[in-house]
Amino acid sequence: MAQIALITGITGQDGSYLAEFLLAKGYEVHGVVRRSSTMNRGRIDHLQHANPSHPETSKFVLHYGDMTDSGGLNRLVKTVRPDEIYNLAAQSHVQISFDQPEYTGDADGLGTTRLLEAIRTMGLPTRFYQASTSEMFGLAPPPQNEATPFHPRSPYAVAKLYAHWMTVNYREAHHLFACSGILFNHESPRRGENFVTRKVTRGIAQILSGKSEKLRMGNLDSKRDWGHAQDYVEAMWLMLQQDEADDYVIATGVTRSVREFVEAAFSQAGLDWDRYVVLDEAYLRPSEVHELRGDPSKAEKKLGWKPKTSFAQMVHEMLENDLKLEGVDPAKHLKSVRRVPAELAAGLVVRARGDRGPRPPRSSGGSSSPGCRRHRSLGGRSRRYSRARSAAISKFSQNFSLPVSALSACISSRSSSQ
């Protein structure tokens, strides 16, 4: 008998990828959608779904529901009786949460509690996944892992932190199999148009199509750890397949500034970003999170999870999608990007030689002594290493359309953490 999964937020970026992932594994997938006068199902229209009144032979069923309606959520859980619940629904835009803090708290924070309480009161053995966020770390210094103290800096992050701790509480107090995935920024062509990464790629497409001349941006110095959403939904599923429930950080371990994202995207499109990007204070947040960089070592060790898509591939996919939407031929404008494993792109460290061991002490026996010759030899190796490193970074940058500055910063951060 097929496993049954219930996904809230199924029409979003993560929900649509997760639905595809679970359907491919033979799941019966039920999704929660909000009632609206306008349809917002573009990300899942390609998946054939049935009416909940006639779900026969269908593996994909959609139900109307809302995270602020506890009665409706209770009825839904009771009717579907899912083996797994993936709570992805949220008001997830940080800037908007400053304008709508009460609604954000109700949907993102209390909405999670309503689902957990539905599972508890019905006594179901349902496994629960909560979509937590790296924004909860806020001002905590990087790299951030599962033990890093939280310091949220927005109503969105505060609401998500409430939901995170409620998930932990229901696991410890009521023995529910409840996990939180603390996902760092993850993007794709399905990202909402008001998120900064999609704003950049869509802006480039509109510049190339002649519809815009400038791209107005806020803080370019904020640093984020960006991965591909399609890779991250696999980690969600893996968490619910473990023997014991736990919380996991899901990230690439590499941080880049918004400026570096802009530089990479414009470079792939053959444009000089300085000519088109305009700084606009209207897009600055009341309180900023300066740097987020996740440490995914726990997920790598316990879940066997690693990101598969490189940063350059992700940016290329987003650009290709947005150029097509604007009627621009990607082949005429985008540089080709070779496929490369994400861990190679993230951890490219050129070593002139293997482990050289500790440096021997300097000998006082003169310039011809073995110790002194050894010292000179190590100095030469160091210079050769630096030249080889610089040459490799330059070549890698050209082959995979990545900015040299981003690669250098990435390698430096990875090397210092080893």
Which of the following is catalytic: 20, 84, 135, 320? 135
Which of the following is catalytic: 27, 129, 156, 232? 156
- Asked if 156 is an active-site residue, the reply is yes
> Nearest to residue 13, comparing CAs of 223, 321, 298?
321
How is residue 17 written in tokens?
Answer: 């990828």
What's the rounded Cα separation, in Å, for the pair 140 and 179?
A: 22
Alpha-carbon separation of residue 196 from 199, 201, 203, 206 (angstroms): 5, 9, 10, 15
> Nearest to residue 406, comparing CAs of 336, 338, 330, 315?
315
Buried b / exposed e across 17-52, counting CB within 10 Å, b at 16+? Answer: bbbbbbbeeebbbbbbbeeeeeeebebbeebebeee
Alpha-carbon separation of residue 116 from 5, 73, 119, 120, 125 (angstroms): 15, 10, 5, 6, 12
> Nearest to residue 166, comparing CAs of 137, 136, 130, 121?
130
Determine how β-strand 186-187 pairs with β-strand 84-87: unpaired
Residue partners of 383: CB distance under 8 A and separation at least 6: none
Which of the following is catalytic: 112, 133, 167, 252? 133
What's the rounded Cα separation, in Å, for the pair 79 and 299?
A: 33
- Asked if 133 is an active-site residue, the reply is yes
Query: Taking the CB of residue 301, how many other CB atoms lie within 10 A of it?
Result: 9
- Asked if 162 is an active-site residue, the reply is no
What's the rounded Cα separation, in Å, for the pair 44 and 63?
A: 14
User: Residues with catalytic annotation?
Assistant: 133, 135, 156
